Structure 1
Amino acid sequence: KGFFTGCCCCCKSGWRWSLKCGCCFKCFPKTFTFMLPQFLISPLAKFSVHYAFFLAALICYSAFLLTELDFYEGVGSVKIYEWIVYIYIFGDICEEYRYLMPYLKEDSILTVISPHISEDAPVSLRHSWWYKLKKYSYNFWNFLDVLSYAITITAICIRFFKSTTSNNLARRFYSLSLFTMYMRFLHVILMSRKLGPKIIMIKEMLKDLFRFIGILFVFMFGVGVLYHANMYPKHVDMWNPAGWEYWRIWKIIYIPYWQIYGDSFLDTFSENSTAPCTSIQSEWENNPDIERCNQYDWVLLVIASLYMLISNLLLVNLVIALF
């Protein structure tokens, strides 16, 4: 009654509608009974206000990441968009886990055993903390919330305690944090009768995709090791101390991963395709920015042809069949 207008009426002779104010009224006497306070605390109003603030925070977060992220030189370097983002994230975390605290209490989750099972009185079965944590984390949206908060807190710590002139590391974490927040905003689409089921379908498809990635990684690592062993024989510097970005593991999985999407990398298999490069071991070991020259072997083309045949025609179509 009066859900969208915030008012309702009751009338002895029946309901009447006021075209003047858009709400109903009593016939005798003509007084209005407003239901605005009840509307403001209704689930729809709370949901709408929550995601309206969420949308505003996303806009401010995007503006902060695009225009304001700079070297931290004190509180004065924190500008308005950044303050808004921090205030919203703090309030969002408090609001999220304000409802979680009674959820984690020992007496809050009880499973009542049916009296039909036993002649005794119903018994309350208390679940362990591990069960409660699993039940909470198995929800996709809860997991996405925790992931978003963790990345955001990490980005804030890097921003304030490990700030650099370029801020590349902080910018990467802030970008991931913003992306997860955009993914969380998809929760509002569940209210749509037409788009809501599609979001649920995407969520279930992601589960199948992550299971399939395990099979895919076996093929990728197997073929990547074959590529690397024949292109760079006797390469002992697999874990370069200059940094994790220079580890050879990325070189191993680079070509097999992009071959899944149809890039053949045939030019890469030719001799010295990484020019400028060097064949002197001391040079590419001491300076990780200098790439080692690769060798040509005809078996690489055979391996690539078989791998792309399996990955593009068999594995990718298997994923399509699962979906």
Structure 2
Amino acid sequence: MTVPARLPIVQAPMAGGPSTPELAAAVTGAGGFGYVAAGYLSPDALRTALDRTRALTAAPVGVNVFVPGRPNADGAAIANYAASLQPEAERLGAPLGEPRWEDDAYPAKLDLLARAGVHTVSFTFGCPTADVVARLHSAGVRVAVTVTSADEATTAAAAGADSLVVQGTEAGGHQGTFAGVTPNRASLNEALASVRAVADLPLVATGGIMTAADAVAAMEAGAVAVQIGTALLCTPEAGTSAPYRRALLERRYSETVVTRAFSGRWARGLANRFAVEHADAPAGYPQIHHLTRPLRAAAAQAGDPDVPNLWAGTGWSAITDDDAATIVRRIAAGL
């Protein structure tokens, strides 16, 4: 087993609000493995989140970190996109954000996690260097890397990863592709098959897993555990905003779409107005994330679900507002 849990169920780290210490502790308490999402948090906020999680559970937990990309986005394309968003900003009475590149405090977070005593650090948006992996290993920390293809799996294995989180295109939220240039179109089963062919490591499957049947299928395809995210979005322990919850539970939008409209990186979410109207958004993460963030925050504050990112996987229509333990145990009961 790649995670120290009674059940082969992992809580997806959903940065930006949904992941909370309460959610990680609830999943862990039900027999799964909980994650703290470090993305978008300052190192001090990450330390606080870890302290709060440990106050709620004595069980081992993991932390997920974003691997920074290169600051090579097309400035002219981003400026044109910003101009197209000005009417939305005026409607909401909110300024556009500064489309800046930053590394999400990656070095400082690694320094913290090398001495924080967590069980696992997982990485997404890229692969840590072999030196980073070795440093974490020397601190007794296991390393997992999110991959979507055989090439990415080969790179992660060569860097020394202990396990791979294999993500299919069905997954909600940001796709974990290393380059992030083209959307991942490989289904979870296709991704598992291609990764199994090149990497002899434990595989955690993620993408569209909402039910016990989904989990069984992924484990029959070679995964040792499954990672669930969308299924937990409407739990009372999640930090999901009120308009986001209502959009999911009331089935306000009929489908999901893979888009760069909100962050400049491919991600799957409900096809709300903003996602549909800005289907031609350019690449540029995290520049576009910062550009649109004030608009998304203002809309969420106003209770408007048509503008914020509403990340959700393809199985989202099976969502419930049950508590996290109930969802974990429901999936586990069918394994």
Larger Rg belongs to: 1
More helix by share: 1
More strand by share: 2
Q: TM-score, normalised by structure 2?
A: 0.20
Q: TM-score, normalised by structure 1?
A: 0.20
